[in-house]
């Protein structure tokens, strides 16, 4: 790659790495895996950097690569997680006096835990639609599927999330 291309890529990487890492975390729920997914997305972008003509579409390319990497990783047998009712270290939120902050953290943790339990494709649609703020057509473009698929996956994903969250959903609604 030429020096100017390397500089352009480095500039893009510095500007977008935190946002891509956060999106990856929302997809997988683990910061270490999020780092791996973000790295995979940026490596793929670096390989294709010279061939990408529309520099305005870089975010879409990285987002699509990120979602595909997350789905691919979730299909690998050694990456499948087993959820348990109780954490091994019995880590719980303490009564440190800040009720609102503790509540917000608990609600966020419940939502992220619920997202982890939703199937990968549905999770990707939910993250792109509601956390990344994409509309139906942009989500369909990012996932290379039809708008009808996005709508059905959104519906199924929300239903699955509601089932997983159960009583926690009422707590989340009352907190907002």
Distance CA(71)–CA(60), nearest Å, equals 17
Q: How many CB atoms lie within 10 A of CB 62?
A: 23
Q: What is the mean pLDDT of each successive set of 10 residues along the chain, which is 176 residues long? A: 87 94 91 93 93 87 92 72 60 50 72 86 91 90 93 93 76 57
d(C-alpha 70, C-alpha 115), whole Å: 13
Chain-centre distance of CA 33, in angstroms?
11
What are the start and end residues of each CATH 1.10.10.10 domain in the chain? 96-171
For domain 1-82, give the fold: Rna Polymerase Sigma Factor; Chain: A (1.10.1740)
Note the maximum CA span of the chain: 56
pLDDT value of position 38: 95
Query: Distance (Å, rounded) from C-alpha 170 to C-alpha 167?
Result: 6
Query: What's the pLDDT score for residue 41?
Result: 95
Two tokens, residue 28: 């997988």
Fold of the domain spanning 96-171: Arc Repressor Mutant, subunit A (1.10.10)
pTM above 0.95, yes or no: no
Q: What pLDDT is attached to residue 172?
A: 55
Residues 6+ apart with CB under 8 A from 59: 16
Query: Do residues 41 and 73 lie in contact, with contact meaning Cβ atoms separated by under 8 Å?
Result: no
Q: How far apart are CA 88 and CA 159, in angstroms?
A: 29
**Given this model, what pLDDT does residue 137 score?**
92
Q: Compute the distance between CA of residue 56 and CA of residue 5 in angstroms, rounded to an integer.
A: 15
pLDDT of residue 153: 94
In the chain, CATH 1.10.1740 covers 1-82
Q: What is the chain's Cα-based Rg?
A: 18
């Amino acid at each position: 790659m030429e020096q100017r291309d390397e500089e352009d890529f480095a500039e893009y990487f510095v500007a977008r790495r935190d946002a891509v890492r956060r999106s990856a975390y929302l997809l997988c729920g683990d910061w270490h895996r999020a780092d791996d997914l973000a790295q995979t997305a940026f490596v793929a972008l670096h390989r294709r950097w010279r061939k990408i003509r529309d520099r305005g579409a870089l975010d879409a390319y990285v987002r699509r690569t990120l979602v595909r990497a997350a789905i691919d990783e979730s299909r690998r047998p050694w990456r499948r997680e087993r959820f348990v009712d109780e954490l091994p270290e019995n880590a719980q939120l303490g009564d440190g006096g800040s009720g609102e902050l503790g509540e917000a953290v608990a609600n966020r943790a419940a939502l992220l835990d619920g997202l982890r339990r939703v199937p990968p494709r549905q999770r990707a649609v939910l993250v792109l639609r509601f956390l990344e703020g994409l509309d139906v057509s942009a989500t369909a473009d990012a996932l290379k599927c039809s708008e009808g698929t996005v709508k059905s996956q959104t519906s199924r994903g929300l239903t699955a999330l509601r089932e997983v969250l159960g009583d926690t959903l009422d707590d989340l609604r009352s907190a907002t």
